[in-house]
Amino acid sequence: MEELIIKETIEPLGKETLRAALKINGTVRSYFSTFLRSIGYLEIPPVIYSTATDPLNHPVFDTTFEYYGRKYSITKSMIFHKQIAVQHLDKIFTFSPNVRLETADKASTGRHLSEFTQIDIECLRATRDDMISLAEDMISGIVAEVEEKNYHELLSLKRTLNIPRKPFLRIKYKDALGKYGKNFENVLSAKMSDPFWIIDIPINEREFYDREDPNNAGYLLDMDLIYPEGFGEAISGGEREFEINKILQRVSLKGQSPDQFKWFIEAASRGLLPSAGFGIGIERLVRYLCGFPKIEMVTPFPKVPGKYSI
Ligand code: AMP
Ligand code: MG
């Protein structure tokens, strides 16, 4: 067992592919932070634990712990912190480490880790269209940057990238589901040669903080970006619910208790301005840029769902 643990965890460290991936990871981080700063975004430090974190719309193992009589959770995403911080800071981003103790079935997707980092972005008074446009600039921009700065790494990985042309294709969730069935995301991802958006996701597929479209009841003003070539989901984001009565309705629709999100609900009760934003998983992006079969190839100490790790 001991041997198995070591074999699983140090495997990426012995490989040249890891060095290339880490160089590309460096380009991603410095390009995004320079680009976002240049358009007025302020970096905020990550939150590692808090009394309220993203409830997520899929089951993960619990990470709550008690500290001086209060219950905390390790951050699954900084959604609540972003929505509150942006009220004061207008345009923010953070490199946010997330712990999501995903179930073992996720190990085979090639794109799930139980510890990963997302670049998480939020903008006050922004719309979904604004965020789609920003994300398209970031994705096309990083492909061009990696082609220029990491020419040698791409060559050694035998990876050819195309700079995706803007605007990216937008497909409505309902249409994708109707045409390709429940597994549409994987089917479409495998078929496409450029990234594309899935928009207007049904209310029950997402969490309470995604804003319902006032002109399309039951659907959200949100979006997922999907990588081509079978690499799957890249980004999730959208406009946020900001009116306290709607937030409370949505929490109760999910069968959740507002107590679970106490500080956020209290802050929202004092009044929020609308905002929108999104998160890009860094490891998934690096995996896509490298063209790797598995996400664990991009990081020296991968946490693979359901497997032992150090
Ligand atoms: P979400 O809002 O839950 O979609 O998370 C935002 C982004 O983080 C996703 O679009 C992915 O790029 C990334 N992400 C989410 N879960 C994982 C995971 N288990 N492993 C790696 N990346 C993830
Ligand atoms: Mg998502």
Nearest atom in ligand 1 to the alpha carbon of residue 285 is 12
CATH, residue 139 = 3.30.930.10
Please indicate, yes or no, if residue 4 is contained in any of the structural domains: no
| CA of 141 relative to ligand 2 center, distance in Å | 22
| CA of 294 relative to ligand 1 center, distance in Å | 15
Is residue 98 scored above 70 in pLDDT? yes
Dist CA 87 CA 125 (whole Å): 9
Nearest atom in ligand 1 to the alpha carbon of residue 102 is 19
Average of pLDDT values for 2-22?
Answer: 72
Q: Which of 94, 120, 84, 91 is nearest to 262 (CA)?
A: 84
Between 215 and 4, name the one with better pLDDT.
215
- Please tell me the predicted confidence (pLDDT) of residue 117: 98
Map residue 246 onto helix, strand or coil. Answer: helix
Task: Answer for the pair 76, 97: CB distance below 8 angstroms, yes or no.
Answer: no
Query: Could you check whether the bond before residue 167 is cis, i.e. omega within 30 degrees of 0?
Result: yes
Dist CA 242 CA 40 (whole Å): 23
Average of pLDDT values for 274-303?
Answer: 98
- Please tell me the predicted confidence (pLDDT) of residue 14: 86
What are 264's two structure tokens? Answer: 């956020």
- Which run of H or of E encompasses 227? strand 222-227
Please indicate, yes or no, if residue 308 is contained in any of the structural domains: no
Residue 223, domain extent:
14-298
| CA of 78 relative to ligand 1 center, distance in Å | 12
Is residue 85 scored above 90 in pLDDT? yes
CA geometry: angle 87, 225, 248, nearest 5 deg: 40
In DSSP terms, which residues pair with 296 in a beta bridge?
A: none
**DSSP 8-state symbol, 230:** T
Name the residue with the closest Cα to ligand 1, atom 22. 281
| CA of 3 relative to ligand 1 center, distance in Å | 30
Name the residue with the closest Cα to ligand 1, atom 8. 281
**DSSP 8-state symbol, 195:** -
Task: Answer for the pair 126, 276: CB distance below 8 angstroms, yes or no.
Answer: yes
Is residue 8 scored above 60 in pLDDT? no
Q: Which residues contact 14 (CB under 8 A, 6 or more apart)?
A: none
Please indicate, yes or no, if residue 188 is contained in any of the structural domains: yes
Question: Pocket of ligand 1, candidates 61, 79, 83, 98: which has the most ligand atoms within 8 Å of its Cβ, to mutate?
Answer: 98
Average of pLDDT values for 279-306?
Answer: 97
Q: Which of 52, 139, 125, 143 is nearest to 277 (CA)?
A: 125
Quickly count: other Cβ atoms within 10 Å of residue 160's Cβ: 9
Please indicate, yes or no, if residue 3 is contained in any of the structural domains: no
Task: Answer for the pair 161, 143: CB distance below 8 angstroms, yes or no.
Answer: yes
Name the residue with the closest Cα to ligand 1, atom 16. 112
Name the residue with the closest Cα to ligand 1, atom 19. 112
Burial (CB count <10 Å: 0-12, 13-18, 19+), residue 264: buried
Is residue 5 scored above 50 in pLDDT? no
- Please tell me the predicted confidence (pLDDT) of residue 1: 37
| CA of 173 relative to ligand 2 center, distance in Å | 13
Name the residue with the closest Cα to ligand 1, atom 18. 112
123 Cα distance to chain centroid: 16
Average of pLDDT values for 103-130?
Answer: 97
Q: How many separate domains does the chain show?
A: 1
- Report residues whose beta carbon is within 6 angstroms of any ligand 1 atom: 77, 100, 102, 112-113, 116, 118, 233-236, 279-281, 283-284
- Please tell me the predicted confidence (pLDDT) of residue 10: 55
Q: Which residues contact 305 (CB under 8 A, 6 or more apart)?
A: 101, 102, 103, 104, 105, 106, 107, 112, 113, 114
Is residue 3 scored above 80 in pLDDT? no
Please indicate, yes or no, if residue 248 is contained in any of the structural domains: yes
pLDDT tens by residue, 166-203: 999 999 999 999 999 999 999 999 999 999 999 999 99
77 Cα distance to chain centroid: 8
288: confidence class by pLDDT, cuts 50, 70, 90 = very high
